[in-house]
Structure 1
């Protein structure tokens, strides 16, 4: 008995054709139930009468498709993947095969080839349910910022950090490599974004120590009603940019997914080009990669209005994006900053600054500024203070070397004479012996007669 494999549709056709053969159903009614035309139903009925159940099976089953790629091309594509693109995803690998080797193959076809060759495994991620957040309507309303620590050069170069800023409404991305994720890196990437796009309304970072301060507020901060804040948070407050702190990576998923794109595609592109230095990586980002990412993944905002605020002047931006700390002015109108003394000019004498607090700002280029009530003060380097006069040391008596006394020194002889003698306490044995000795001494000796 022959075994015939049928799918659900073919089994339904067999059931209806059997009922037609038994006279229980009209062919036109069977065509309506199969959702085919009457002519197609007559063809199905003819194959069923001539071949039986086998005539209902799809005739192309088991045969290769007419659009099947040549075996040599498939073998070459898999060999190139193993040789040059190991670890690449099917989409990225198909793009490089088309651009670098002229092999145009769909990424899904390449994925099936790699699955059959054991070079790729399907991965399904099951994550907890999270509600989607709607994008902001205008570009510039919200910009996500974050740093990604990764082995970007795959051991070919130093460890670096990629700082990324992405607009929430359009996905437009700005990225740059830095030696570490610190305030200087955050200042620089923010400055570049402002120069290119404008001042955003709000930033969406994580709760890193660059953006949030966890210490208790000091008295001066409580009186000013500003609370403890980092240098970056202080700069955003002065620029009028809001800070919305994310409580989880999923909350700022847009920039996290951009990290995944960079860690996948950017790492592999730099591997192919042999990039191993921070300067070369930034040059490739600015010149090629960011343009490709923005051209492919940027979306259109719901509202075409530009939501960015007015861009501040270069001098104002450089002064705000600095390290600022308060200092107290001394009576001689000087103050100390990083072991340097600064002299405030006499033109500000009407301010009465001695004893008052001023703010010293160190810009990113190393220059300094002194502010009092947001007013710049002129200053210069103060002369070094005079060295304190040292009091002459009091004369000290010459040190006398003590020598031990000689063996025949009178001090030693007196010590031997007056040394105490230890007398043990009498016991029964010693008392008995001494009593016998005393009696023998008191009794006169008798002469022994001789014979």
Structure 2
């Protein structure tokens, strides 16, 4: 009768154990030496040797191989998880879906388990990893506040529940991934200054900021423009650039998106997690979005993504007394003081208060501020003085009767003063000659031309 051979699969560790067991069986090794060689206790080795003598080579294999694990996921829990994901989180990724299942439904599963269940249900498609272009790696900064990456993302953050496009301004710390963000209506200098104001009041002044080369941060010069490096002004720096200089913040320009990759990857995460969080919370306006961002999402970001910096020192600097944020974070331009101690701004006159007027102020160039709250101020002798608006005198309309009477001038070709002049004039002149007895000389018209024949 033919003997059936069974294929036995063993791991490398099990094959090594089998070799030692054969040496003990043949008397080449003592049990104590074999246990020491395999890293087992003598009792544990005797139990392994007993299974080997009873079952042969198969006794070396793990006894649970081919059996279902006692720690396996229950079928009921797996089906409920797949139903919840399909109903509420169909477009979520496995990691985000596992967090929402734990927070809202009390199902604690690892992201890998959720990914496997989503693949089984057809809710997720496994992707092969591709080799991407490699850029030079840069280590994180050592301290919080040493470098802050700054950028803006225009996206349909509220989907179809609110404005089609909103802007999200984000400032992320390079050392710890600490995030500060706000939704704004436009990607303007004013909105960026308002976000910067909030950041400065919360954390202080960072050492440097890392942004792109947008027109908000770097002035656009015509080809061939030669910039004078040590001469600040409207042509050499933007309003935000001037604010950075007055705050003592170094501005660093990024020449590629990869250079400020931390904030770029941050927006990739926000466009996934924040959009779905706003949807679950039912947010439908910009004000509600900022409230959700401040109260819910940023604390979640802090717990999930912030890391400990290399040093515990906070590099943020306090706002000193001589730094007035209302003055620094404003629109500043240069104007000339008129003889009546006023300055012109957007077709309006603003008066310098009498108490701030001093000798030599007439015809002098000064810096005028238009602040975020609408106030106007002027910088004089190292201090700022609020301006007062000059009320324009009402212009009285001039009636037609009061003006000079204009002589009526007809349009060219419409005057009729020469009508019948030749006929009537010639007949009257002929009758006059006959009465006076003058010779019948050829008649001529008053214009000196011969009469018509």
Pick the TM interval, shorter chain. 0.7 to 0.9
Q: Deviation at 1:49?
A: 2.9
- The equivalent of 2:157 in structure 1 is 152
Q: 1:105 to 1:350 in 2, by over 3 A?
A: closer
Cα displacement (A) at 1:71: 0.7
Find the residue that maps to 1:76 and give its secondary structure.
Answer: helix
Query: Residue 102 in 1 paired to residue 111 in 2?
Result: no
**Distance across 2 between alignment mates of 1:348 and 1:41:** 97
Give distance in 2, aligned partners of 1:195 and 1:314.
Answer: 15
Shift, 1:47, TM fit? 2.6
CA pair 385-212 structure 1, distance change in 2 beyond 3 A: farther
CA deviation vs aligned residue, 1:409-451 (integer Å, no higher than 9, x gap): xxxxxxxxxxxxxxxxxxxxxxxxxxxxxxxxxxxxxxxxxxx
- Any residues of structure 2 matched to 1:340-355 within 5 Å, and which? 340-344=348-352, 350-355=358-363
In structure 2, do the counterparts of structure 1 residues 179 and 126 end up closer, same or farther at CA, with 3 Å as the change threshold?
farther
Q: 1:20 to 1:279 in 2, by over 3 A?
A: same
Distance in 1 of aligned mates of 2:277 and 2:384: 48
| Structure 1 position 224 matched with structure 2 position 231 | yes
Pair 1:67-2:67 in alignment? no
Structure 1 residue 206, shift from structure 2 partner: 2.4
Q: 1:206 corresponds to which residue?
A: 212
Alignment partners' CA distance in 1, 2:61 and 2:339: 103
Structure 2 counterpart SS, 1:80: helix
1:56 aligned partner = 60
Contact persistence 1:136–1:142 (CA under 8 A) = no
CA RMSD of aligned residues (A): 3.5
Q: Which has the larger radius of gyration?
A: 1
Q: Distance between the aligned counterparts of 1:143 and 1:52, measured in 2?
A: 66
Aligned counterpart, 1:357: 365
Structure 2 stretches of 5 or more lacking a match?
A: 417-453
Q: Which moves more between the two structures, 283-292 or 4-13?
A: 4-13
SS across alignment from 2:168: strand
In 1, distance between residues paired with 2:62 and 2:225?
81
**Counterparts of 1:23 and 1:172, CA distance in 2:** 66
Pairing of 1:114-193 with structure 2 (within 5 A): 114-120=118-124, 121=126, 124=129, 126-127=131-132, 128-137=134-143, 139-158=144-163, 159-193=165-199
Q: Give the whole-Å Cα distance in 1 for the aligned partners of 2:377 and 2:156.
A: 38
Whether the 8 Å contact between 2:204 and 2:319 is mirrored in structure 1 is yes
Q: Aligned to 2:392, which of 363, 383, 405?
A: 383
Q: In 2, distance between residues paired with 1:233 and 1:345? A: 30
Determine the structure 1 residue equivalent to 2:428.
Answer: none
Specify whether residues 384 and 215 from structure 1 end up closer, same or farther in structure 2 by C-alpha distance, changes over 3 A only.
farther
Once the two structures are superposed, what CA deviation does each residue of 1:118-148 show, in whole Å capped at 9, x if it has no partner?
Answer: 43325646441533324233x3333332222
Is 96-105 or 296-305 further displaced after alignment?
296-305
Aligned residues: 402
Asked if 2 retains the 8 angstrom alpha-carbon contact of 1:218 and 1:228, the reply is: no
The whole-number CA distance in structure 2 between the counterparts of 1:103 and 1:308 is 41
CA distances 1:271-300 after superposition (whole Å, capped 9, x unpaired): 112212111111111222222322444444
Aligned pairs for 1:224-303 (under 5 A) are: 224=231, 228-303=236-311
Taking a change above 3 Å as real, the CA distance of residues 21 and 300 of structure 1, as seen in their structure-2 partners, is closer
Residue aligned with 1:224, SS: coil
**CA spacing shift, 1:388–1:333, aligned 2, 3 Å:** farther
Higher helix share: 1
1:309-348 map, 5 Å: 309-312=317-320, 316-331=324-339, 333-344=341-352
Distance in 2 separating the partners of 1:314 and 1:278: 34
Equivalent of 1:369 in 355, 377, 384: 377
Worse-superposed segment, 393-402 or 92-101:
393-402
Q: SS where residue 250 of structure 1 aligns?
A: helix
User: TM-score, with normalisation over the residues of structure 2?
Assistant: 0.77
CA distance in 2, matches of 1:62, 1:304: 51
Equivalent pair of 1:344/1:380 in contact (CA under 8 Å): no
Q: What is the rounded CA distance, in whole Å, between the counterparts of 2:226 and 2:52 in structure 1?
A: 94
1:270 to partner: Cα distance: 1.0
Q: Which moved more, 1:348-357 or 1:366-375?
A: 348-357
Per the TM alignment, residue 36 of structure 1 is displaced from its structure 2 partner at its CA by 2.8
TM-score (norm 1): 0.77
Tell me, which stretches of 5 or more residues in structure 1 are unaligned?
404-451
Q: How far apart, CA to CA, are the structure 2 residues paired with 1:375 and 1:218?
A: 34
Distance 1:362 1:223 in 2: 25
Q: Distance in 2 between matches of 1:136 and 1:8?
A: 44
Given that 2:208 and 2:251 are in contact with CA atoms closer than 8 Å, whether structure 1 keeps it comes out as yes
2 CA distance for matches of 1:290 and 1:46? 60
| Change beyond 3 A, Cα 1:142–1:315 | closer
Aligned to 2:448: none
Q: Does 1:9 align with 2:13?
A: yes
- Please tell me whether the aligned partners of residues 144 and 204 of structure 1 are also in contact (alpha carbons under 8 angstroms): yes
Which residue of 2 is the match for residue 195 of structure 1?
A: 201
